[in-house]
Structure 1
Amino acid sequence: MSEIVMLNIAQLVAGFRQRSLSPVEVMCAVLDRVTKLDPAVNAFCALDEEGAMSAACEAERRWTRGEPCGPLDGVPVSVKDLVAVAGFPTRHGSWTASPDRESVDAPAVARLRRAGAIPFGKTTTSEFGNKIVTDCPLTGATRNPWDTRLSPGGSSGGSAVAVALGMGPLSLATDGGGSIRIPACWSGVVGFKPTFALVPAGNAASWTALSTLGPIARTVRDAALMLDAMTGANNDGSSEGGSPAGYSAALDDGVVGLRIGWCPAPDGVPVAPDIAACVGRAADTFGALGATVIQTDVAPIADYYGNGRMHSVQWCVFFAQRVRHMEAADRTLLDPELTALADAGARIDTATFVDALLARHALGASMETFFERYDLLLTPTFHCGPPPVPGLPGHLRSAPLLTAWCNQAGLPAISVPCGFAGDLPTGLQIIGRRGSDALVLRAARAYELARGDFPAPGPELQLPGDVEIAP
């Protein structure tokens, strides 16, 4: 049996059922892993070791009685620090957020608990999820598990790094323009952004009307099982807003007969040659699996880039709204990059904002037409590799070229590791029409099986000696 912390959910649950493994043993192994590895990567901003061990003991007693409370009973899960977890503060990566502990779980977290999962820690984020790297004044910089000199991406970088390094098999994250898929791509794990609002957000609903909650995991099946729990889908043939028998039910049905569009580089997107080669080989795999793969320019996406400011206009305005009631003293505590976003948003007039919303509507309508011809669309997840820590280079400060448009259209999209560009992992993005989450996951699973196991980063991590992680 492989190292406990790298087991998938099916292996964990089988071990619990057969009494060859216990939830206490697993939680101890995960917490020990965090203690050993997190100082080098800074993926966690809060832990509840006592509460996690208590919950693991309860799960162990249920398994001993043969009465697990759900399909994830005893499975550790971390949660991005934009999402409320009872007993933890929700700091949003910000000195301006309240340090008080939450008394109520966000709906998705509550559903994970009902399925038996154990939330044991909060993962790092950029401040209020404002950018595609994970650094902020409150928690400092999070580092890539493959090369600690580099960023893992963001804003869900802590979640992606935690999963990649075996610091828990699952993490609940958010994605407003690529914040699940980009760190999944650069960290070598699976990251799924569901159809907009498929996973309930409750009082922390997407204030940007772009962001949605989703899973980060090491395998597509684990991501699907987590999505089952968060949407209320289950394995008895019923669901609450999920697919008829859960998103994990038909994962192995393959892609034979599907018509798949393949867009290697939308007009104006400079995809690095080594990334293009990796993703091109992944696209070829679908043809070998029985799908019809057709290279296409995807005109609606080209129109989106031609519009130029659709995503950035909305993003800036939303952040301007976020900070407009802050006291002047609090504004001085903000990440300067967030302040710049908010200031830019405050200068945008109503007509420009409405134009961006109209362009968003037009993009959604265009993609509905596109998906009348194709079942799925393949693209690279990101056009280049990760930047150094800390900070975000100027050329990456615009809307992420290959991911943000999916948020504009509300489409489900997944990043699956598809190889290495140099020494770093890169990702294939699989996109479907609104509501086709099960099909996107099924295609990702077919590719994953054909690809074989993807390696994990080694646990021998070194922090560059001249850079500190936290302020």
Structure 2
Amino acid sequence: MTTTDPALLSAAELLRLYRRKALSPVETAEACLARVRRWNGSMGAFTFVDEEGALAAARASAARWQRGEPCGPLDGVPTTVKDLVLVKGWTARRGSHSTEGQPPAAEDAPATARLREAGAVLLGSTTTPEFGWKAVTDNPLGEIARNPWNPALTPGGSSGGAAVAAALGMGALHLGTDGGGSIRIPAGLTGIVGLKPTFGRVPAWPLSPFGTVAHLGPMTRTVEDAALMLTTISRPDRRDWHALPPEPRDYRIGLEGGLAGLRVAASAALGFVSVDPEVLRVFRSAVATLADLGAEVEETDPPVGDPQELFARTWFPAATRLVEKLPAEARARMDPGLLAIATEGACYGRAELQDAALERGELGVRLQLFFAAYDLLVTPAVAVPAFPVLRTQPGPQADPRWTAWAGLSYPFNLTQQPAISVPAGFTEDGLPVGLQIVAAKYADALVLRAARAFAAACPQPVADTPRSPSAQEPAAPV
């Protein structure tokens, strides 16, 4: 990227300049915070900004770089944390009135601790829907994240605030969560990179209310930065009972390995999703690029069936339990859509929940066998382009369930596999379309390597300023 604005440099570029003493972390933090002050009020990326803390951390980083003694691999890199993840000294509002009056967190979550230890400059908390329950980003606190390519449209969710911050240069690295597509959906709809690592690769604590479908991962403007961030946040933490055994490695190593000879299954719809024609057009072009890069591409659908009902039996009862734990006065102020799926989740009986756990295991086995024959699976990241804010569906439906249009993402939460969204092109209306790349469990490095090869061959612009600042939002929410 050719730019003189530090806020638009990648983390890798920032670190190279810090090392040469050609740029100060203070200059970078100030440039990012200037963008936050300029656009956050209209774009809704942040729910909390710690300007004083960020500048203090940047000054401390600058002093270390001047001495030639950086404290870690992210020293001085501006970073954000989704407002579902604990940051010591900050109050996690989680997009909910129910958290009003809670004290600041007494300790960092594992991923936050790893970022802080590595020297990252923490700017603030990014916007989420209430408890991260849906694939768009608005909440009862009145916070609405808007798509940089057209602010009348959603950036997706639930890590929509992080996606907006990444695109607009409000930090180089962004920590998101993904329980059914919440990293990859906003990455695809805003034209950035979003990685859902293998479940357990990034330690998590406290465990998400949505359980073992919920992953943490990087959201960045480049694949190299996603690899750098994963290297840092995947370091072990004893507080996560589900964490994978430590795998000391630098995910940047091997990133340039290319695609030649890799067996790639291409599935436009996974056999059950309705895909927008414009998204399909961009996907077909991306698949042709993969073949040009030497991949052995075969069009085939993986054996996922239609897991929408299985995911509902996994996700909705978790919402039920989340809501049940809150006092009645808090429930009265909750997102009606969250309450609706919680009500639906309460209808499932014990046998149905047990069957869901067994069916999830069977789905995982089928996918493991599928990936014995293929190195990678590619699909569109999202089946539809961005649609108006304050809706949970692309069309006029009032149904609060977002799963109908997000079917390309949540199957791989059920199976806990690594998956990444990388920018692939644009619709005729100028809206981003992402390519999703999936691999077998534990093959996080392969997903990054493939994404890097595709991104290098098919570079896409980033909406570093809001593209339609005068756009009007819909007349009424649906």
- Verify: 1:115 aligned to 2:121, yes or no: no
SS, match of residue 298 in structure 2: strand
Partner Cα separation in structure 2 for residue 464 and residue 252 of structure 1 = 40
Mapping of residues 361-400 of structure 1, within 5 Å: 361-393=361-393, 394=397, 397-398=402-403, 400=406
Partner Cα separation in structure 2 for residue 171 and residue 350 of structure 1 = 38
Q: Which residue of 2 aligns with 1:208?
A: 211
SS, match of residue 414 in structure 1: strand
Q: Which has the larger displacement, 372-381 or 319-328?
A: 319-328
Which of 26, 31, 34 is matched with 1:32 structurally?
34
SS, match of residue 125 in structure 1: coil
Asked if the contact 1:232–1:241 (Cα under 8 Å) also holds between the matched residues in 2, the reply is: no
SS, match of residue 425 in structure 2: strand
How far 1:466 sits from its partner (Å)? 6.7
SS, match of residue 213 in structure 2: coil
Q: Which residue of 1 aligns with 2:292?
A: 288
Partner Cα separation in structure 2 for residue 185 and residue 420 of structure 1 = 10
How far 1:433 sits from its partner (Å)? 0.4
Q: Which residue of 2 aligns with 1:462?
A: 469
Q: Which residue of 1 aligns with 2:272?
A: 268
Q: Mark the CA change 1:232 to 1:326 in structure 2 (over 3 Å): closer, same or farther.
A: closer
Partner Cα separation in structure 1 for residue 249 and residue 425 of structure 2 = 32
How far 1:207 sits from its partner (Å)? 4.2
Which of 426, 431, 438 is matched with 1:424 structurally?
431
Q: Which residue of 1 aligns with 2:359?
A: 359
- Verify: 1:345 aligned to 2:330, yes or no: no
How far 1:37 sits from its partner (Å)? 1.1
Q: Deviation per CA, 1:46-97, whole angstroms, max 9, x where unpaired? A: 0111110000000000000000011110001001000001111011110101
Partner Cα separation in structure 2 for residue 467 and residue 41 of structure 1 = 15
Q: Which residue of 2 aligns with 1:237?
A: none
Q: Which residue of 1 aligns with 2:141?
A: 138
Tell me which amino acid in the other structure corresponds to 2:343: D
Which of 127, 152, 155 is matched with 1:152 structurally?
155
Q: Which residue of 1 aligns with 2:241?
A: none
Q: Which has the larger displacement, 158-167 or 444-453?
A: 444-453
Which of 116, 129, 132 is matched with 1:126 structurally?
129
Q: Which residue of 1 aligns with 2:98?
A: 96
Asked if the contact 2:82–2:176 (Cα under 8 Å) also holds between the matched residues in 1, the reply is: yes
- Verify: 1:279 aligned to 2:283, yes or no: yes
SS, match of residue 309 in structure 1: helix
Q: Which has the larger displacement, 127-136 or 196-205?
A: 196-205
Asked if the contact 1:135–1:391 (Cα under 8 Å) also holds between the matched residues in 2, the reply is: no
How far 1:321 sits from its partner (Å)? 0.7
Which of 253, 258, 279 is matched with 1:254 structurally?
258
How far 1:327 sits from its partner (Å)? 1.5
Partner Cα separation in structure 1 for residue 357 and residue 99 of structure 2 = 29
Q: Mark the CA change 1:218 to 1:466 in structure 2 (over 3 Å): closer, same or farther.
A: closer
Q: Mark the CA change 1:111 to 1:253 in structure 2 (over 3 Å): closer, same or farther.
A: same
Partner Cα separation in structure 2 for residue 404 and residue 55 of structure 1 = 37
- Percent identity reads 44
Partner Cα separation in structure 1 for residue 93 and residue 463 of structure 2 = 30
How far 1:452 sits from its partner (Å)? 2.5
Q: Which residue of 2 aligns with 1:162?
A: 165
**Unaligned stretches of 5+ in structure 1?**
234-239
Partner Cα separation in structure 1 for residue 121 and residue 465 of structure 2 = 25
**Unaligned stretches of 5+ in structure 2?**
237-243
Asked if the contact 1:146–1:457 (Cα under 8 Å) also holds between the matched residues in 2, the reply is: no
- TM-score (norm: length of structure 2): 0.92
Asked if the contact 1:30–1:167 (Cα under 8 Å) also holds between the matched residues in 2, the reply is: yes
- Kindly tell me the number of residue pairs found equivalent between the two proteins: 459
- The runs of at least 4 consecutive aligned structure 1 residues that moved more than 6 Å come to 466-469
Asked if the contact 1:164–1:189 (Cα under 8 Å) also holds between the matched residues in 2, the reply is: yes
How far 1:265 sits from its partner (Å)? 2.1
